[in-house]
Chain A
């Protein structure tokens, strides 16, 4: 058998490499193609986006414009409404104020009336109380005068009683003093008179009499 210049392994390997190279190329072409298609799709989307954006801006500007117009229109209407409402409110307020004022006036009038009535009642009540006070004062003064008179009378009676008692005490004391003095005077008089007038015989008789008495009493045993 003839020998080949290359071994089979190398040949297989070379063949495999060749296949991988062809696969790579194919994949590369596919990816290139996909990228191109993607770019195109993206570009289209971008264009569509821009267009959409422009449309949106336009629409929004239109909306804003409309809104501004509508706002202007609404503001005017609102102002008119406000004016209308304000006028209504003012009118209602005016009516309310007028009503309140009338009520206040009525209240003031009523108050004045009540005040006058109260004043009158107070005056009457005060007069009554003053009258009662005067009556009470008169009664108390009368009672006080009666009590004072009674006290004065009893005080005078007590004073008189004390005076009488004092006089009685003084009288008794004086009488006691006189009594004592009478005895003393009598003794002194008897002493003076009998000492001089009694004779020796009389004195001796009294001595004998006393001795007899002492004997009867058994004084000397």
Chain B
């Protein structure tokens, strides 16, 4: 199970992304095992295992998610069958709360690429290969980030820097005012 989760988490960096990918993965596998007329590999009848043909992907999946699904190794898919698919996903969902989660406040909404870069840097920086980001928006930070780890908030934004150097900045302004 840890191996499965590790494969999923390899390119998945945020909690939202993880939940979304688990959902589309599950949906795709269920469609493959229990039927569905639309998919990227239509014409195949439901079977007990994926074999070498791979899962049936829904058409309305985002390209990056579709790419992610396609990027998963074949062996990964082979562990699923119609008998264990629900069980595996139940166990995977049960693992989510146990994962280390770092809440990150950003002033912008990161796109897929940015999130990947940030996530990879975070994992590399803190040496946490399974670390997940819980991205939240706070434009009041001006620039930079604020982090919450195990309930402790730490502001590394430009706003915090201004607050720290408030007196110095004010003195600078006062020289012009008085």
Contacts and interface: CB of A to CB of B under 8 A. Distances in A.
Contacts of B114: 200, 204
Given A207-B106, A207-B118, A219-B154, A212 B125 contact: yes
Nearest to A207: B145
B62 to A, nearest CB: 20
Given A194-B142, A211-B121, A203 B107 contact: yes
A195 to B, nearest CB: 7
Nearest to A200: B114
A215 B125 contact: yes
A143 interface: no
Nearest to A171: B178
A219 B142 contact: no
Interface stretch (B15-23, B69-77, B88-96, B166-174): B166-174
B158 A194 contact: yes
A214 B142 contact: no
Interface string B105-146: 011100000100110011001101001000000011011110
Contact of B108 (A203, A208, A217): A203
Main secondary structure of the interface of A (DSSP, over half): helix
A175 interface: yes
Contact of B166 (A183, A190, A195, A200): A183
A190 B140 CA distance: 10
Interface string A194-221: 1100101011101111111111010110
B10 to A, nearest CB: 20
A209 B174 CA distance: 31
Contacts of A160: none
Given A183-B166, A214-B156, A220 B140 contact: no
A187 interface: yes
A179 interface: yes
A202 B114 CA distance: 12
Interface in A163-205: 175, 178-179, 182-183, 186-187, 190-191, 194-195, 198, 200, 202-204
Contacts, number: 86
Nearest to A203: B108
B102 interface: yes
Given A204-B114, A206-B158, A219 B147 contact: yes
B143 A204 contact: no
Contact of B142 (A178, A187, A207): A187
A191 B144 CA distance: 11
B165 to A, nearest CB: 10
A210 B126 contact: no
Contact of A187 (B125, B159, B177): B159
Contacts of B170: 179, 182-183
Interface string B34-58: 0000000000000000000000000
10 contacts: A175-B174, A182-B170, A190-B143, A191-B142, A195-B143, A203-B106, A203-B108, A209-B144, A209-B156, A211-B122
Interface of A: 175, 178-179, 182-183, 186-187, 190-191, 194-195, 198, 200, 202-204, 206-215, 217, 219-220
In the complex, the 7 A-B pairs of residues with the closest C-beta atoms, listed nearest first: A210-B156, A220-B126, A206-B144, A210-B145, A211-B125, A191-B142, A190-B142
Interface of B: 102, 106-108, 114, 117-118, 121-122, 125-126, 128, 131, 139-140, 142-145, 147, 149, 152, 154, 156-159, 162, 166, 169-170, 173-174, 177-178
Given A191-B142, A207-B145, 9 more contacts: A182-B170, A195-B143, A202-B143, A203-B108, A207-B144, A209-B156, A210-B157, A211-B126, A215-B125
